[in-house]
């Protein structure tokens, strides 16, 4: 065991820490605190294993919403070259500072809104983002990171299970939609584990899932992303309609659909991510 790991193991328990700082989860911030060290350690272990890594040495890691610090401890124990924590709730900053004090030169804390932080410009590659995401901003955060996916080696993110199901959804399912398409065009995505509501304080009404995102070899250009977002926004706003109806305002629809091997009688949920990409390139 390294010296840093030994120091982390000597920190007070998460429940003791929460009580000492009087930390109560705020619904307005989408907070559900994960206080089970077995779960936080397992998240890191599974993420590393799926990536065939033994630790995060040589990497810069970012965590959004550190809360009581359980996942922060697990990440830090995996020996990243540097860890940057972004935490909006000032009550949690002191807890993060306790962890930072164990190795001040290897951890930074940003007290701010993660939606306003450009993670792709901080630190050095390889970059990993690991987070028990605040439920109320999980999808906007993901969309932002997907657009700059080439700057990251991996994203290990916890979502409400219903959101994770939408991300992983195949075609011809009710969960398939905009977030499925952009995620699958940019990344290989796999589920690492499901997490019971009982593992959180307070316990949410739904299960959660941890997903691992890794960038595909060929990523979308900025122009392609803009076109995909525009096209999917139009068709999924009318997801029960055939595309000949939802896209009837486009004069070149028939030829564009033909190039993408799409029938005009298809509905959005029947069209693959790659077909959407071809359609967007030829239509917009």
Mean pLDDT, the chain, integer: 95
Could you read off the pLDDT of 178-206 as tens digits, one per residue? 999 999 999 999 999 999 999 988 888 89
Could you read off the pLDDT of 72-114 as tens digits, one per residue? 999 999 999 999 999 998 889 999 999 999 999 999 999 999 9
pLDDT score for 31: 74
Residues contacting 16, CB < 8 A, separation 6+ = none
Residues contacting 30, CB < 8 A, separation 6+ = 134, 135, 136, 137, 138
Residue by residue, what is the 3-state secondary structure of 88-109? CCHHHHHHHHHHHCCCHHHEEE
User: How far apart are the C-alpha atoms of 66 and 90, rounded to whole Å?
Assistant: 11
What is the pLDDT confidence band of residue 169, given thresholds at 50, 70 and 90?
very high
Enumerate domains of the chain plus CATH numbers: 3-215 (3.40.50.150), 222-283 (1.10.8.100)
Could you read off the pLDDT of 47-78 as tens digits, one per residue? 999 999 999 999 999 999 999 999 999 999 99
pLDDT of 25 strictly over 70: no
pLDDT score for 85: 98
C-beta of residue 43 within 8 angstroms of C-beta of residue 70: no
What is the pLDDT confidence band of residue 24, given thresholds at 50, 70 and 90?
confident
C-beta of residue 115 within 8 angstroms of C-beta of residue 140: yes
Could you read off the pLDDT of 1-10 as tens digits, one per residue? 788 999 999 9
User: How far apart are the C-alpha atoms of 222 and 279, rounded to whole Å?
Assistant: 16
């Amino acid at each position: 065991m390294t010296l840093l790991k030994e120091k982390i193991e000597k920190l007070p328990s998460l429940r003791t820490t929460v009580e000492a700082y009087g930390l109560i989860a705020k619904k307005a911030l989408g907070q559900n605190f994960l206080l089970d060290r077995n779960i936080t350690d397992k998240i890191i272990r599974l993420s590393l294993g799926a990536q065939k890594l033994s630790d995060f040495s040589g990497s810069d890691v970012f965590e959004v919403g550190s809360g009581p610090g359980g996942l922060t401890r697990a990440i830090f124990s995996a020996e990243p070259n540097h860890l940057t924590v972004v935490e909006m709730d000032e009550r949690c900053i002191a807890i993060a500072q306790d962890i930072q004090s164990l190795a001040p030169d290897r951890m930074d804390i940003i007290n701010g809104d993660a939606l306003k932080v450009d993670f792709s410009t901080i630190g050095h590659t390889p970059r990993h983002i690991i987070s028990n995401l605040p439920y109320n901003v999980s999808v906007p955060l993901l969309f932002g990171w997907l657009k700059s996916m080439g700057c990251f080696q991996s994203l290990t993110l916890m979502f409400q299970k219903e959101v994770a199901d939408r991300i992983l959804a195949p075609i011809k399912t009710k969960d398939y939609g905009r977030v499925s398409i952009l995620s699958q065009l940019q990344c290989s995505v796999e589920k690492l584990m499901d997490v019971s509501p009982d593992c959180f304080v307070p316990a949410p009404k739904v299960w959660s899932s941890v997903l691992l995102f890794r960038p595909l070899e060929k990523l979308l250009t900025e122009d392609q992303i803009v076109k995909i977002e525009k096209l999917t926004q139009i068709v999924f706003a009318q997801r029960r309609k055939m595309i000949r109806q939802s896209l009837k305002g486009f004069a070149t629809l028939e030829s564009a659909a033909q190039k993408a091997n799409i029938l005009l009688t298809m509905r959005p949920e029947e069209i693959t991510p790659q077909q959407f990409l071809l359609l967007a390139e030829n239509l917009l």
